[in-house]
Amino acid sequence: MFSPQHLRSLALCPAYAALRAHRPKAGPHSRERHAPVSVSEMYQGQWTPLVPRAQWLAVQRLLSAPERKTCRPGRGKHLLSLIARCGRCEGGLAVTYRGGYPRYFCRAKGCVLIPQAEVDQIAEQVMLAYLARPEVIDTLRAGEHDGDRELAMLRDALATVRARHDELAEAVAAGRLSVALAARSEPAILAEIQRLEKQEKQLATPSALRGLIEPGADVARRWASAPMSTRREIARLLLTPQLIGELRITPSLTPGQRVAAEQRIQWWRG
Ligand SMILES: [Zn+2]
């Protein structure tokens, strides 16, 4: 068994990501030798990494974040809360039990109110039909090998550039770098982050979907046995303007009178 402290020191060790912390001026007994080394000072080691570098860097950011809390899986109980949006004000929808049964309502301004079960059912049907479409299945399967490898490399690159950006901010805060000098190098770093993030987004959705559910003709069976947290992740990926469209509920035109949920759902695509 590892103690939490032991796990933490393991997770912080750069060697696991095949990175070499380089401190040329520090002697074997100097105190500086044990000070944390920034990512930009590290070298690529000549051994095979035990963990992908992006993952390692992500752990460093988590462990050193001041607001760090113990990570818990999402506890969302409802398929579309804060995923579906209000068609009038674009605010997120949440669930209320006022009235005796669950309904989605516009959390920001109360513009809309609609039975949850009806919306969930339609959203489920649309998402499952999408995941059973032959061209979607082909796209998802095609990227399985090259796509995932490319994505891992892209994430490594992105994590490295983000770490460089963090270090720039830290250096200015610590007074080790002038604001003027930082301002000169920052735009290039930000442009690079933006470029890599855009590429990542294009590759990440199919990859993430593959990890959540296997598409295909019998996707409905797998959906039925998936936990709510997984279903919500799938909804979050599919109900975007780039894919199926963001699910928006329009206000009822005749308040008080029941209008079928179908007529009030919009698939907003930007
Ligand atoms: Zn609203």
Most confident of 62-66, 197-201, 259-263: 259-263
93 Cα to the center of ligand 1, angstroms: 8
Cβ atoms within 10 A of the Cβ of 260, count? 9
94 Cα to the center of ligand 1, angstroms: 11
Instruction: Report which DSSP code applies to 50.
Output: S
Residue ranges of the domains in the chain? Answer: 133-218
Q: How far apart are CA 169 and CA 158, in angstroms?
A: 17
Contact 228, 76 (CB under 8 A): yes
Taking only the tens place, the pLDDT of each residue in 22-51 is: 555 545 555 544 555 666 666 666 666 666
113 Cα to the center of ligand 1, angstroms: 10
88 Cα to the center of ligand 1, angstroms: 5
In Å, how far from its chain's centre is CA 224?
Answer: 24
107 Cα to the center of ligand 1, angstroms: 7
139 Cα to the center of ligand 1, angstroms: 35
- Least Cα distance to 40 among 64, 63, 62, 23 occurs for 23
Angle, alpha carbons 183-185-191 (nearest 5°): 105
235 Cα to the center of ligand 1, angstroms: 20
Top-confidence residue, 31 or 117? 117
Taking only the tens place, the pLDDT of each residue in 177-213 is: 888 888 888 999 999 999 998 888 877 888 888 889 9
